[in-house]
A = this chain, B = another copy of it.
Amino acid sequence: MADPLRSALFNDLYELTMAQAYAAEGMEAPAVFELFFREMPAQRNYFVAAGLDDVLTCLEQLRFVEDDLEYLRRDHQFSRAFLDRLRGLRFTGDVYAMPEGTPAFPNEPLVQVVAPMIEAQIVETLVLNQVHFQTVAATKAARVVHAAAGRAVVDFGSRRAHGTDAALKVARTSYLAGAAGTSLVLAGKLYGIPVFGTLAHSYVQAHDDEWAAFEVFARQYPNSTLLVDTYETLQGVRKVIELSRRLGDRFRVHAVRLDSGDIGALAKQARQMLDAAGLSQVQIFVSSEMDEYRIAELLAGGAPIDGFGVGTRMAVADDVPHIDMAYKLVAYAGAGRMKLSSHKVSYPGRKQVFRVVEQGRVVRDVIGQHDEHLAGEPLLQPVMRDGVRQPAGRVSLEDAREHASREMARLPDAMRGLDRVDPPYRVEISAGLRSDADNLRRALERSQLGSA
């Protein structure tokens, strides 16, 4: 089977039924859709934009294959003419976006799609699915990396991530956000990122003796990390020390891994024992229910930990597993469009985000009309034109990782921390954009609310 991410049927049915209606009505003018989120959850100060690279790859490769068309013909009410239209459909539009790794705030477009209505509409689910999750995951990872304060963070989440695509994207976005690498081999192959492994309890258990397991594993992999808690953690550490005595100069074990119990206390005891045995070069690597809060707590307690394997909680972003991200029509046929709603603010027309920097630190963003000239760095870059990636859309993961690191360093210090900053980061709406919204709201109230 092909990768679901590359299927043109990865969409919600209404996108295709609306597309057929648009085709029937001759509504083929350019549309502008923007992807943004509305609110900052209480547990976050920023989000890290991610997922763009997959979106652009999918747009470049968008094709309905015969198999797809046959399914649509057989199971759904689409006309032959529309299916022929889908057969020839390619994405021919433009995309503007924040580079991956850019901190993003409420109401700021992360991605803008400017394309003939049908093309822009049928990619809704795909764009949202990838940018929503990768942004959620990159942000969680950025917090974990910050909490680890320079110590290595390795993604261990593949087994509990929500499916295979999520596992890959957690590996990718955690590396983007500064993690050292992942345990997931396929992510190493696909993204060229470092892959790390230790050993499992099963390996120790399968041997009749823990000592024998350590000895044979360290002989095969001299620089390995030995998991010491299968039976009793400090006994496991003693066996590693004994191994160093027996192997002498050939002992090159890189680290011991603690995976259960009172990790903070055990790390201190293990460190003392290793140091007393002259093994100060052997690092302490820990795992088990790690996240940014637990890591901060361990380090605040003085635990002498050199690296963290971070699994489940980072992989599912368990404190903020979703945000209210939407892909909304803001212009059609050259005219601004918006919903009317008492509690959801929205602004019509294509936009630009201007980031104002003072003395090397970002201080506020201003969301304006796309062609306004406002102070600050414009964040939205042309990443695709006429369906073809532009230089700004061809960024390696290594370069995106460096960009993320630089941009995170420009945030106010407190914002990078785990606690909510109050007041939150300032995001202003330009006078021009507010005026557009007010005018359109009044026009819609006149035309739509009295018309039935």
Contact = CB atoms under 8 A, between A and B. Distances in A.
Interface stretch (A340-348, A371-379, A392-400): A340-348
A177 B130 CA distance: 26
Nearest to A217: B21
A359 interface: no
A18 interface: yes
A191 to B, nearest CB: 12
A45 interface: no
Contact of A21 (B216, B316, B447): B216
A197 B322 CA distance: 23
Contact of A4 (B20, B22, B121, B168): B168
A312 interface: yes
A261 B203 CA distance: 56
Task: Please indicate which of the listed interface residues A11, A205, A229, A321 has the most CB atoms of chain B within 10 Å of its own CB.
Answer: A205
Contact of A186 (B10, B132, B195, B327): B10
B25 A216 contact: yes
Interface string A150-194: 000000101111111111110000000000000111101110000
Contact of A201 (B217, B329, B451): B329
A190 to B, nearest CB: 8
A163 B33 contact: no
Given A21-B217, A210-B448, A161 B129 contact: yes
A405 interface: no
B329 A205 contact: yes
Interface in A121-157: 121, 124-125, 128-130, 132-133, 136-137, 156
A287 to B, nearest CB: 12
A296 interface: no
Interface string A194-235: 011111111101101111000011001100100001111001
A33 B231 contact: no
A300 interface: no
A200 B165 contact: no
A2 interface: yes
A4 B169 CA distance: 11
A93 to B, nearest CB: 15
Interface stretch (A70-78, A99-107, A275-283, A425-433): A70-78
A53 interface: no
Contacts of A350: none
A44 interface: no
Interface stretch (A331-339, A360-368, A410-418): A331-339
Contacts of A169: 162-163
A177 B166 CA distance: 22
A7 interface: yes
25 contacts: A1-B6, A10-B186, A12-B197, A13-B188, A13-B197, A16-B197, A18-B199, A27-B206, A33-B202, A71-B189, A75-B189, A133-B160, A133-B161, A159-B327, A160-B322, A162-B321, A163-B166, A202-B329, A206-B329, A208-B447, A230-B340, A231-B340, A238-B452, A239-B452, A316-B321
Interface of A: 1-7, 9-18, 20-22, 24-25, 27, 31, 33, 68, 71-72, 75-77, 117, 121, 124-125, 128-130, 132-133, 136-137, 156, 158-169, 183-186, 188-190, 195-203, 205-206, 208-211, 216-217, 220-221, 224, 229-232, 235, 238-239, 242, 260-261, 312-313, 315-316, 318, 321-322, 325, 327-329, 332, 337-342, 344, 444, 447-449, 451-452
